[in-house]
Structure 1
């Protein structure tokens, strides 16, 4: 059974009705699927949806999810369809943190994604398209690792969109407190290799008690719900979306969207949060000394209500890069009524957010 089939089985066990959600047909051609390997031999995946000759553009997902976040059919129009319908050659990248790949169960770092996965993906797309460069849209850790890749010397990228985060990371005090507790480090010492947002309604008493305890996690009244996967997501990452921006079908299918995160990647992410800027897995400042490598067209997006990654994160990046390389390369937008991932999977993202992404791709 494939890893994707395993996750479908998990969804059925979590909430059987989720497999019967009324989902429409994806408005894109059947994809061409390419498996390829990183420089250290990890199997990765690209899905190509050729809407036309614009691009090519790679869409890179966050931690604990997969490229499904870009092709979700519980919303009226997803980012894949939006770009496909505007004649873009769209490539959905599943890097080693993708919950749909076996690699997500292995220990790996954000450095691995940045320095091993991105170069292999860009090389593969350029090889298959005959083009000399690509554009890349990254969200969350997908944007952080994209920035790390560029700072690490990644070539053949003509423009990027970084959603929510890039060189710097600031969050709410409660999230920094959890990071200071060094929970990923402690769990790794105890032999735990990964955490998961997934939970099973047929799980044992200890898991059910844990899920019940998550109800005590401080969440604003207007953001509370009865979805245990939603609560696990908040415990792991902080508040990732404004509930008002998610339609019911998307909220109901969170168990399909979110899954496991390996401890090594989480440990590096929490270290970056505590330092407030990119560092490698050893804690070394190996990336920021090379800001000149970010002298290319870049757009930064932040949700104005993003409590997971505060908007000042991209503001810090924007100001830093404008000072270092000049204002002509950079744009930044703050989306007043959005949080974090709802900028991609929100029910109105096609009207409010996607045009800003398109603008960068069209004007690079």
Structure 2
């Protein structure tokens, strides 16, 4: 015979002798005071042995404790009988409490979510059983530092530096965190083949600085090597779950490990990437489902209350490996499950670790990720003085609460209007300036994405296209409203101009040689360069270090036209070039396998920090680039090596002479450059700034006439095409445009439109 609790347990007269009183109430200390409502009803509290299976005694003890509590609180116990208990349904006699409509609605939402979670888990289990598929599971322990945020901002600073700062702050304040999670995949085949690569999470999370800790985790999501749409060539290991605190507090945990090209051929970096989890924790808003749809990208909803970093220690990783266990109906299924999982994990890991050796990514015929189609309002054919016909696109302002003003935006070489009206980001530059009340004009000049670009045109020739466009705008749109009568004579308002890269150089050539009258221009924002192009060191190597100039070498082997795009059916010369470009030297974190990206880097140098482009932009970069003729390339090489804007050959006259610079008097300039620009040296804008300030001083009418800015963590084209350019670049450009066009006292008030909703909700950060 066996028995239980031979010596009894913790019932006593006071806290210094035991834990509970005769009613099962837990003492607060050594005296007789007890915690209100904290009652132990198990027979283990009796200070004597009850024998084996003392159901009646334990039941009587529990009833007595609750009866005493009810009498003391003057509560009435409902004695109606229950029917057969349904563990998955609602109680037969639910607790009566008057609830507000909002509380009832919130409760119904939570019940639906709970039912949906249980349904999906049950469906996964039954499906695996029916198909007799094997699964796998393992347990993971991670620890680190998570800082509780005390500001009122609900917006997430989703940058690695922000997580590191929060972790350092948490470490200094001893804000530790730890989780113990079990990962369970019921069907290995679905995990391997499903794009989400999802498994279930259960466990616990503790962080003493968060009220309600420790938290219970149930039915969360673990995604293995999930494609990161916010950065090209990047895979994430994500942890998403709601967690429930001891005080009924419900928070949402989102963590991700970033595995990108920085791990290429570096075992140490691969370990750091796969063992570092960037975490933020949010309050879960009432009435909002936390997981979203299957195809919905994660977007933080609710106030961000904590942020930091957690890591797995080597000893914990070893324990995790030892806990890896397969499931299945037979030994064969278990072995197959392990083999499939390890093959999948190895394949995904090696594709990142051996990134320089993976197959090249060629242009895709399918359009994917075009989330922001920005059609122009009107398009015009513009004929220059020399007879060359180009295009001019116009977008009407969407903000009618302010007076419409003209804005002329000039793209660079080998690109067109799409760098400003990019369809693969949720808010592009055209959207941004239209909502500020500007009528946007963008030319596609003769060195852009046009068939005529294959002729031997240069930046010096393109100034004629810009002149023709300005003449058309001044004639058709001289003021807020367009002019219907083409013959009407009136003095148009000067036009503010934003220029980028070689579009800036072409515009500088037109202003300096007098082709474009300076009085037509209200002000200029120059992106990366204006009249002093200076190549960065990689481009200088191509120009000066090679025994044969690159343009002559390419012309000899492949002709006069270099296309930035390519394909699997390209010529053998182009295919060989594509393979050689794999090994073009660059930082490890900038390695990719996009053939078009490599070709762009060859002719112009790397035009972006890859982390600033989203996957859709980088995957389809061929749609936004044309090519370059060797005559133009030769002129660009000469200008960039000498540091001056010059005319066509054979004279190659320098245009930025002191006499020509004097023509720029009275035009305000904003010069900005990406701090990581690999195409042009930051000295390009610095030298122009010095020339202008030396010639005209820094101020006019008590205002700053010339400004220069370096944008940290940005390269060249990502200043316009970057997924976060809407918050890092566009605002200071708009501020300068407004200052010059509408006056220094003007302050832009964002309209209540779809973009404001995207900004406020944080969805723009999730693109």
TM-score, normalised to structure 1, is 0.91
Q: List alignment gaps of at least 5 residues for structure 1.
A: 1-12
CA deviation map 1:274-314 (0-9, x unaligned): 11121212321133331112220111110001121111210
- For residue 163 of structure 1, what is the aligned residue in structure 2? 527
Residue 272 in 1 paired to residue 621 in 2?
no
Residue 207 in 1 paired to residue 574 in 2?
yes
- For residue 324 of structure 1, what is the aligned residue in structure 2? 695
- Work out which of the residue numbers 436, 439, 447 in structure 2 matches 1:97: 447
- For residue 472 of structure 2, what is the aligned residue in structure 1? 124
Contact map agreement 1:138 1:161 (CA 8 A) in 2: yes
CA displacement at 1:216 relative to structure 2: 1.6
CA deviation map 1:44-101 (0-9, x unaligned): 11111010543311111111111111111111211001001111010111111121x2
SS in 2 for 1:19: coil
- For residue 83 of structure 1, what is the aligned residue in structure 2? 433
Q: Where do residues 1-364 of structure 1 align in structure 2 (5 Å cutoff)? A: 14-16=362-364, 19-26=366-373, 30-51=376-397, 53-99=403-449, 101-114=450-463, 116-131=464-479, 132=492, 133-153=494-514, 154-155=516-517, 156-180=520-544, 181-185=548-552, 187-188=554-555, 192-282=559-649, 283-289=652-658, 290-295=660-665, 296-328=667-699, 329-364=705-740
CA deviation map 1:189-227 (0-9, x unaligned): 778322111111222433222201111211111100010
SS in 2 for 1:23: coil
Structure 1 stretches of 4+ with a deviation exceeding 6 A read none
Aligned-partner Cα distance in 2 for 1:348–1:44: 31
State the structure with more CA Rg: 2
Aligned-partner Cα distance in 1 for 2:541–2:392: 37
Aligned-partner Cα distance in 2 for 1:46–1:135: 16
Tell me which protein shows more helix as a share of its residues. 1
Contact map agreement 1:67 1:98 (CA 8 A) in 2: no
Aligned-partner Cα distance in 2 for 1:232–1:247: 19
Contact map agreement 1:297 1:360 (CA 8 A) in 2: no
CA displacement at 1:125 relative to structure 2: 0.7
CA deviation map 1:115-163 (0-9, x unaligned): x112111001111102422111111101111112111221211111100
Aligned-partner Cα distance in 2 for 1:333–1:196: 32
Aligned-partner Cα distance in 1 for 2:362–2:389: 28
SS in 1 for 2:366: helix
- For residue 7 of structure 1, what is the aligned residue in structure 2? none
CA displacement at 1:186 relative to structure 2: 5.0
The structure, 1 or 2, with the larger RCO (C-alpha pairs under 8 Å, 6+ apart) is 1
SS in 2 for 1:118: helix
Contact map agreement 1:158 1:297 (CA 8 A) in 2: yes
CA displacement at 1:270 relative to structure 2: 0.5
Residue 286 to residue 168, structure 1, CA distance change in 2 (3 Å): closer
Aligned-partner Cα distance in 2 for 1:117–1:44: 7
SS in 2 for 1:91: strand
TM-score, normalised to structure 2, is 0.44
Tell me which protein shows more strand as a share of its residues. 2
SS in 1 for 2:447: coil
- Size of the aligned set, in residue pairs, is 348
